[in-house]
Amino acid sequence: MATLTIKNVQKRYGTVAVLKGIDLELHDGEFLVLLGPSGCGKSTLLNMIAGLDTITDGAIEIDGRVINDIHPKDRDIAMVFQSYALYPNMSVARNIAFGLEMRGMNKPDREVAVKKVAALLQMEHLLDRKPAQLSGGQRQRVAMGRALVRDPKVFLFDEPLSNLDAKLRVDMRTEIKKLHQRLGTTIVYVTHDQIEAMTLATRIAIMKEGVVQQFAPPQEVYEQPANIYVASFIGSPAMNFIPAQIVSEADRIGVRIEGAQGASVLPLPAPSAAVLKKVGHDVILGVRPETIARYQHGTNLPPNFARFSAQVSVTEPTGADTLTYLALGGRDAIARVPPKEAPNAGEVAEFTVDMARACLFDPKTEQRVG
Amino acid sequence: MASLQDLPGARGRYAIFGRVFLYAILLLFAAYYLLPLGVMVSTSLKSAAELRSGSLISLPRDFSFEAWGFAWNKANVGVNATGLAPYFWNSVVMVVPSVLISTFMGALNGYALTKWKFPGANLLFALILFGSFIPFQLVLLPMSLTLGFLGLAGTTAGLVLVHVVYGLAFTTLFFRNYYTSIPDDLVKAATIDGAGFFQIFFKIMLPISTPIMVVSIIWQFTQIWNDFLFGASFSSGASAPITVALNNLVNTTTGVKQHNVDMAAAIIAALPTLIVYVLAGKYFVRGLTAGSVKG
């Protein structure tokens, strides 16, 4: 258990900058997820924490100790690889004990440590097998056991679930979360799967082209994305982005969008100073599909809800919800409505949107406004 | 997948005709390849008297292993009537260390070239690979100078050195290509686990190299056992390997030409490589294709 500090870390290969100054600070027992598409530098950063790659500039500290020039084996870290990287020639028990063996621990102590970890991961019956005789999920468990047995300060996970089938992936995800809750270890976890990031992390760092776009707890990343990139990366179906304009109408501020029957103005509850400055400017309205609902006639809307009508182009029932495609602001927007309330394709229907949960983005910088 | 013969329409008249044609050609080629060996075996089992009376391809009337025994320890090799036996052991003493050392060093090279990439690793590999294209006649003179300088001229140790040096190009190629298919994560995991260069090599890489090690051993064994050029150039008299001794036995100009003894001697000289192929041949094919398809 430890704190991890990443200070202005950079990585260049020749003239190509892969990481352009990363700053992250992790408290004891935190679960950091590095999230981003392939090529964003997240694995490079993990390898630099592990010591498998050199740091061009900046510093990485574990518990306040700079580890830039320290050999991987002396960093007190353990890593779980995407390919599991189990030693094919060794039994499961020896795989788990290998790190201890290399550190000169005697055999009886190693056996005790292996037994303890095997019990923790419920794989006592696998100890004598070779990796080739294990299923994907079992290999994954052994790889975690190999990391756990050393009781390191920081755990590093490099896309550990991406080689598993869908069902097993969900199970192992829960198991990793349970393990983290039980052991309270500091973890850095790399993935490109936003669901894994949301479910596991205490904080997510979303990366793009070597730059951290946002570093915040999952719920904050979801509700207050720093920019359009983050907003579109997290959430499925993705957030709707609707071209709009901020207008001042009578005594209130709102956004004007083009709907089925001309423009409608959706009032903004409690607009911030930054939003007020943008009156008259174009913005991009970001609306999550679940904040759009069917308008029930005769109900009194809370003040933060706005009403608009739109033409429905397609509906996609998913069982729990029906995804409804609306023509809004010249493009398709998706609403996630309960199946009972789902309109028919082709009809013009009235909807409400919770404007307190909407986001506004600057169309040029793509950053969130206010 | 269903077998090809079970596909609909695969058993028509033309298909059967094609199959018969195919087997006929295969049998013809098999006979073509086996005939010389057959003649050798049959001649070696004939007595001297029968040789003179019968034709070359007639089968022996009564089997006699006399020629084999004679070739093994009585025949004239050069000027001494020692048979092939001492030279056979010369070859064994030369081949075993040559094969083991060159295979081991090839494994070490392949491991360093793939898992511990350093600047210029690919260039170095290309240069090592170049060694497998050099005609060995080209290096005879410089090599004999080198052996003389090292004081190894005319010794078995000298021959071992020559075979190790010129085998390295091949063994490095084998192991380098095999280790390319082994994921780098294995080495990274072991590094974090605290293992160093040699610990990873001995505890992880070597134990998973069996298929390619078999390939390397068979290849090197065959090459070195069958080598005549280096053996004839760098050995002298009693230290000559069996290939050189066979040449001396067959080319002896004094006395009557004993074809049955010549044939028996040739088979004796070829037997070890044949046995190695029979015992380990399937690993050879398996190892050559290992890594080309994902398992």
Mode of pairing for the β-strands spanning A252-259 and A262-267: antiparallel
CB contact under 8 A, A89 and B204: yes
Our CA-based measurement puts residue B197 at a distance from the nearest CA of chain A, in whole angstroms, of: 12
Q: A96-100, A203-207, A297-301, B156-160: lowest mean pLDDT where?
A: A297-301
At residue B16, does pLDDT exceed 70? yes
Of 1.10.150.110, 1.10.150.20, 1.10.3720.10, 3.40.50.2300, which CATH number belongs to B85-289?
1.10.3720.10
At residue A286, does pLDDT exceed 80? yes
- Residue A24, classed as helix, strand or coil, is strand
Rounded percentage of chain A residues whose pLDDT exceeds 90: 73
Our CA-based measurement puts residue A292 at a distance from the nearest CA of chain B, in whole angstroms, of: 46
pLDDT tens, residue by residue, A329-352: 778 899 999 999 899 998 988 899
Domain with CATH 2.40.50.140 in chain A: 240-361
Q: What is the pLDDT of residue B287?
A: 64
Tell me the fold of A4-233: Rossmann fold (3.40.50)
Of the partner residues B191, B207, B208, the one whose CB lies closest to the CB of residue A73: B191
Q: Which residues share a beta bridge with A10?
A: A20, A57
pLDDT tens, residue by residue, B129-152: 888 888 989 999 999 999 999 998
Rounded percentage of chain A residues whose pLDDT exceeds 70: 99
CA-to-CA separations, B146 to A289, B179, B235, in angstroms, rounded: 80, 33, 14
Q: Which of B39-48, B225-234, B276-285 has the highest mean pLDDT?
A: B225-234
Query: What tokens appear for A232 in the block?
Result: 């579109």
Exposed/middle/buried for residue B69 (C-beta within 10 Å: 0-12, 13-18, 19+): middle
- Residue B168, classed as helix, strand or coil, is helix
Rounded percentage of chain B residues whose pLDDT exceeds 90: 50
Q: What is the pLDDT of residue A236?
A: 87
pLDDT tens, residue by residue, B173-217: 999 999 998 999 999 999 999 999 999 999 999 999 988 998 899
Closest CA to A349 of A296, A302, A312, A297: A312
At residue B227, does pLDDT exceed 60? yes
Q: What is the pLDDT of residue B266?
A: 93
Exposed/middle/buried for residue B6 (C-beta within 10 Å: 0-12, 13-18, 19+): exposed
Domain with CATH 3.40.50.300 in chain A: 4-233
At residue B290, does pLDDT exceed 70? no
Mode of pairing for the β-strands spanning A4-13 and A57-62: antiparallel
Q: What is the pLDDT of residue B293?
A: 40
- Alpha-carbon torsion angle A196, A202, A208, A212, nearest 10: -170
Q: Angle at which helices B85-115 and B156-180 pack, to 10 degrees?
A: 40
Q: What is the pLDDT of residue A233?
A: 94
CB contact under 8 A, A51 and B194: no
Q: What is the pLDDT of residue B2?
A: 61
Q: Which residue has the higher pLDDT, A11 or A250?
A: A11
Rounded to whole angstroms, the Cα distance separating B248 from A101 reads 57
Closest CA to A28 of A206, A202, A214: A202
At residue B295, does pLDDT exceed 50? no
Q: Which residues of A271-296 are buried (b: 16+ CB within 10 A; e: fewer)?
A: beeebeebeeeebbbbbbbebbbbbe
CB contact under 8 A, B193 and A85: no
Nearest residue of chain B to residue A146 (CA atoms): B193
Banded model confidence at residue B291, pLDDT cuts 50, 70, 90: very low
Q: Which of B193, B200, B213 to mutate to test the interface with A (most CBs of A within 10 A)?
A: B193
CATH class of A240-361: mainly beta
Rounded to whole angstroms, the Cα distance separating A234 from A264 reads 28
Domain with CATH 1.10.3720.10 in chain B: 85-289
Q: Residues for chain A: how many in total?
A: 370
Rounded to whole angstroms, the Cα distance separating A149 from A118 reads 9
**Mean per-residue pLDDT of chain B:** 87
At residue A260, does pLDDT exceed 80? no
Of the partner residues A72, A83, A88, the one whose CB lies closest to the CB of residue B192: A72
CB contact under 8 A, A85 and B189: yes
- Alpha-carbon torsion angle B4, B10, B14, B16, nearest 10: 60
Q: What is the pLDDT of residue B191?
A: 94
Q: Which residues of A touch B189 (CB under 8 A)?
A: 79, 81, 85, 87, 146
Banded model confidence at residue B219, pLDDT cuts 50, 70, 90: very high
**Where on the phi/psi map is residue A142: left (φ > 0), alpha (ψ -120 to 50), or beta?**
alpha
Chains A and B form CB pairs within 8 A to the count of: 52
Of the partner residues A85, A90, A103, the one whose CB lies closest to the CB of residue B188: A85
At residue B153, does pLDDT exceed 90? no
Closest CA to B224 of B115, B128, B134, B99: B99
CB contact under 8 A, A99 and B193: yes
Starting at the edge strand found earlier in the chain, the sheet holding A203-208 runs A77-80, A154-158, A186-191, A31-35, A203-208, A211-216
pLDDT tens, residue by residue, A5-56: 999 999 999 889 999 999 999 999 999 999 999 989 999 999 999 999 999 9
**Mean per-residue pLDDT of chain A:** 91
pLDDT tens, residue by residue, B237-267: 888 899 999 998 888 766 677 888 889 999 9
Rounded to whole angstroms, the Cα distance separating B276 from B273 reads 5
Q: What is the pLDDT of residue B294?
A: 36
Amino acid at A270: A
Q: Which of A39-53, A268-282, B4-18 has the highest mean pLDDT?
A: A39-53
Q: A259-268, B36-45, B243-252: lowest mean pLDDT where?
A: A259-268
**Over residues A168-176, mean pLDDT:** 92
Starting at the edge strand found earlier in the chain, the sheet holding A322-328 runs A292-294, A348-354, A305-317, A322-328, A331-337
Q: Which residues of B touch A84 (CB under 8 A)?
A: 185
Q: Which of A48, A83, A94, A102 to mutate to test the interface with B (most CBs of B within 10 A)?
A: A102
Banded model confidence at residue B83, pLDDT cuts 50, 70, 90: confident
Nearest residue of chain A to residue B192 (CA atoms): A73
CB contact under 8 A, A89 and B195: no
Q: What is the pLDDT of residue B257?
A: 77
